[in-house]
């Protein structure tokens, strides 16, 4: 018996971490120059088909999924941490539609199929990579904002005549 299940979710990928504007300061180093680190990448939002699920009821009550932003860069050329991805587990046979409810983004038929729904923003560069011949740092870059996406998930889910003998 197959049935139709439908859920609407709102997702947002993570923003990129800001680059750090920092200067090297040490004893006996007269002109240290810039030494800021790049920001971390924002988290992605994925949908993955898994065995053992047969309904989208979990997405009826929690509809908003936001990936975290990357950490900002730090001094001493330390790059910020990349944010973790958010994975939405869906049953086999789930179709993911765009907000217009007509455009099919993906049809997750096999176990382990994954589709990227929203890509996290890239890291922002620090002043260290822009050193000129005078060792003067330019301005670091601010963080980007991630994608905001609405998606509809639905499809025929369930088992084919559970208990029927062929």
Does residue 78 lie within any of the structural domains? Answer: yes
Is the predicted pLDDT of residue 159 greater than 70, yes or no? no
CA dist 17 and 38 (Å) reads 8
Q: How many domains does the chain have?
A: 1
CATH number at residue 15: 2.70.210.12
Let me know if residue 166 belongs to a domain.
no
The answer to whether residue 143 is domain-embedded is: yes
Mean pLDDT, the chain, as a whole number? Answer: 76
Residue 164 in any domain: the answer is: no
Confidence of residue 157 (pLDDT cuts 50, 70, 90): very low
Model-wide pTM > 0.85: no
Mean pLDDT of 94-107: 84
Residue indicated by tokens 């750090």: 20
Q: pLDDT tens digit string along 4-58? A: 678 888 888 888 888 887 777 778 877 777 787 888 888 999 999 999 888 888 8
Sign of the Cα torsion 31, 37, 38, 39 reads negative
User: pLDDT category, 164, cuts 50, 70, 90?
Assistant: very low
Domain range for 122 is 2-154
Domain for residue 159, yes or no?
no
pLDDT at 144 > cutoff 60: no
Q: Answer whether residue 161 is part of any domain.
A: no
């Amino acid at each position: 018996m197959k049935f139709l299940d439908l859920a609407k979710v709102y997702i947002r990928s993570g923003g990129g971490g800001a680059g750090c504007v920092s200067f090297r300061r040490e004893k006996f180093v007269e002109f240290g120059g810039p030494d800021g680190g790049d920001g971390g990448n924002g988290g992605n939002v994925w949908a993955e088909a898994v065995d053992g699920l047969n309904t989208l009821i979990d997405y009826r009550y929690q509809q908003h999924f936001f990936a975290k932003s990357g950490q900002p860069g730090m001094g001493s050329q330390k790059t910020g941490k990349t944010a973790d991805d958010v994975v939405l587990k869906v049953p086999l046979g789930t179709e993911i539609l765009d907000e217009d409810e007509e455009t099919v983004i993906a049809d997750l038929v096999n176990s382990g199929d994954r589709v990227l729904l929203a890509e996290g923003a890239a890291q922002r560069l620090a002043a260290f990579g822009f050193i000129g011949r005078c060792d003067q740092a330019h301005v670091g870059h601010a963080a980007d904002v991630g994608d905001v996406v609405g998606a509809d998930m639905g499809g025929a889910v369930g088992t084919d005549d559970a208990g029927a003998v062929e």
